[in-house]
Every structure is written in structure tokens, then in C-alpha cells.
Structure 1
Amino acid sequence: MIGRSLRGARAGTRYSTWSVPAFAGAKTLVVTSTNFEDGCPLPRPHAGKGVGDDVSPSLHWTAPPTGTAQLLLVIEDVDVPLPRPLTHTAAVLPPHRDSLDIGELRPGAPQVRFLRTVLGQGYHGPTPLRGHGPHHYEFVLHALDAPVPEGVRTFRALRAWIPGHVLARGRIVGTYEL
């Protein structure tokens, strides 16, 4: 009932990391998955706790540009009924990575450092309000020219640090609806 009544309330992409100029890069990365196609539904195992198994999908991407010091993956729900998109996951990866295996976005995974979001740390799969309609989940990968400082531990702090550090970016979008 709540989802239906809020159906027209959506954050939109205006404040998503894909749209905010501070997160833009001059070059493009191509991001793909073996678990879903761009613009298509995410399979149930990748949905959040209580809905699915909360297991992150596999992701693959093209080589980042020369000078990449670190990679940043941000997963956001741009259809949440809030003023801004909801950041589900923010993960820092080494620059030599070209993929993440299914389930690899979990606390304690080697070579993955999570920044704290309002949902906590680690992968938090789709859990839209029942009846709210389809939600779009943007998986945005950024190639950074400098490592994210160890003192940057939250997504909010990252937003302050990141301007001028993005060399390239790419995304894949999955949908989910209850």
C-alpha cells in the first residue's frame, strides 16, 4: 500500500554519481555482467536480504586509462522515494582489477575496501518498496587518478574528496521490482 501511494515519488538521476559533475571522467569504461544485461532485471539472488540472497552480481569492465591509481564502484537506487538516490554500496578496488566475481562484494573480501553508506558496508542488494514500481540500480565504476585516502571512510566524505580525481567512468543499470 505504501509503495503504491509513493509511486510518483522518486529521487531521479539528478544527484546520482552518474550525473554529478564531480564524478564525471573524460574517458569511458564499458561495464558488463554475466548475470544481467544493461537495463534489464537483476535476478532474485542479487536482491537484498528478505527478498533474495543478497549476493552481488559479477561485473566486468574494460581496461582503465593509464594513470589510474584506484577504482571506485558505486551502486545506487535512483528510484527510491527520497530527495536523493540511495547509495547501496561504495567499494574501492585496486587499479589492476578487471572484474568482480559473483558474491565478491562482501566484507572481508581481499582487495575490496568498503566505504560506509547509510546502509552500512558491503553489498546491499535491491529491496524496493512493494508496489512502488521498477527501481533502477546504477552500478557505476570510476577510474581514479589518486588512491582514496584511508581517512575517507564514508561515502559522504568521498563526495567531498573526489572532485578532479575521476579519469574515466562506466555503468551498467539493473532493475528490480516487488
Structure 2
Amino acid sequence: MAVMGKLLKNKRAGQDGLAWNSPNLASENTFALSSPDFANEAAIPTVHAGRRLGGKELSPALTWDAVPAGTAQLLLVIEDPDAPTALPYNHGIALLDPTVTGLAQGDLAAENTVDGVRLLSSGSRRGYLGPAPVKGHGPHRYVFQLFALAKPLTVGKSDTVPASAKPRDVLAAAGDVLARGRLDGFYERV
């Protein structure tokens, strides 16, 4: 598998495709997004990595500053821009009530039910998908992005977001961002 990683070493989705860089999710206003489990721009502990890498696929705890007045909904997006794919790989997407002020470890697991948290399909499954980069591909950046939306998100003809909505449709439908926060962590499979 390390050979595959070395062959794909220069193939990366790139940060341009992150939700953070989508014009419809832009905002000049920011708020702090952090984790007691790892510092911004630091290594993500193995416990948060995928099970096949020896991790427990435990979503990290997240905390953030108070969101702006008028926030109707929060959109949490976790992406890997270093994946050897056309677009950053989605590791989790969720809608949160604006009254939610943080998430404990494991709150993004598909089998958990947390008040005010609605897990959406990341494309491969619902809930948090821990880091699992190709062996030998080098360090991967995992970007946790939280957007404060001025109005509830709707996708398609629905007045909500269907459980089957694709991440690209959810991100395309989002807008009216009042403020946003970002936390970056790294994980490398050697």
C-alpha cells in the first residue's frame, strides 16, 4: 500500500475545493473553533483515526465562540483536501441547532443521538469518518469548518435537508453565512 501512496504523492484535491473557499459560504466575520483534543495546525491523535489504522474513529470534541445573533442553523463540514481525488474528501457533515455550543468526543458517531445535532450523509455514510490516508501519501490536512447560517438550509423541493442529500448539494444550497470558524489538524499514515 505504501507504493500506492508514493505513486499518488503529487495527486491531491487541493484547498481550493474546500467548503471554506466556496463563494456561497464566504463571510468576513469569523469565530473561534477549537478542540481540546488537538491544537490548530497540530497532529490529530490516532484515537480519532479510522479503525483500520488502529484508531477508534472517535470524533474529536469541538467548541466554538458564541455564534452571531440571528443564526438559524449551524453547518459543520469536515474535509480532507489532501485526498487523491478530484474534490476534497468529505469526512462528515452535520446540521446543528444554534443553541448547541460544542460537541463532546464521539457526538458525531452515526449510532449516537445528540439533541440539536442532525448527521447527514458524507457520501459514503452518515456520521464521522476518521482519518485514513493512503499509506506513504504523506500528511493529510483535515479541515473542520463551522458556518453560522442566517436561514435554515433546504435542499431541492423539500423544506428541509433530506437524509439522502449528497454533500455537494448541501454545500451548494447553503448560503447567507453570518460568520464561520475553522480548525485544521493533520494525520499521516506511515
After TM superposition, give the deviation of residue 152 of structure 1 in Å. 4.1
Using the size of structure 1 for normalisation, the TM-score is 0.95
Equivalent position to 1:124, from 126, 129, 146: 129
The question of whether the paired residues in 2 share the 8 Å contact of 1:17 and 1:23 is answered with yes
TM-score normalised by the chain length of structure 2: 0.89
> In the alignment, is the contact (CA less than 8 A) between 2:6 and 2:136 conserved in 1?
yes
Q: Distance in 1 between matches of 2:35 and 2:122?
A: 23
Aligned counterpart for 2:170 among listed residues 142, 158, 161: 158
1:148, CA displacement in angstroms? 2.0
- Matching residue of 2:179: 168
In structure 1, the partner of 2:157 is none
Secondary structure (helix, strand or coil) at the match of 1:68 reads coil
1:125-158 CA-to-partner distances (Å, cap 9, x unmatched) read 1000000000000000000111123244421221
Aligned mates of 1:46, 1:109 — CA distance in 2: 19
After superposing on structure 2, the runs of 4+ consecutive aligned residues of structure 1 that deviate more than 3 Å are: none
Question: 1 or 2, which has the higher helix percentage?
Answer: 2
Amino acid at match of 1:172: L
What RMSD over aligned residues (CA atoms) do the two structures have, in Å? 1.2
Which of 36, 39, 50 is matched with 1:37 structurally?
Answer: 39
Percent identity, aligned pairs only, is 41
1:48 corresponding residue in structure 2: 50
- The number of residues matched between the two structures is 177
Cα deviation per residue 1:46-105 (whole Å; 9 max; x = unaligned)? 001211100001100001111001111100001001111011100111101111001111
CA contact (8 A) 1:77 1:136 kept: yes
Equivalent of 1:96, from 95, 99, 111? 99
Structure 2: runs of 5+ lacking an equivalent: 155-159
Taking the aligned partners of 1:100 and 1:66, their CA distance within structure 2 comes to: 20
Q: Which amino acid aligns with 1:167?
A: L
Alpha-carbon separation, structure 1, partners of 2:22 and 2:168: 14
Residue 70 of structure 2 corresponds to 67
The unaligned stretches of length 5 or more in structure 1 are: none
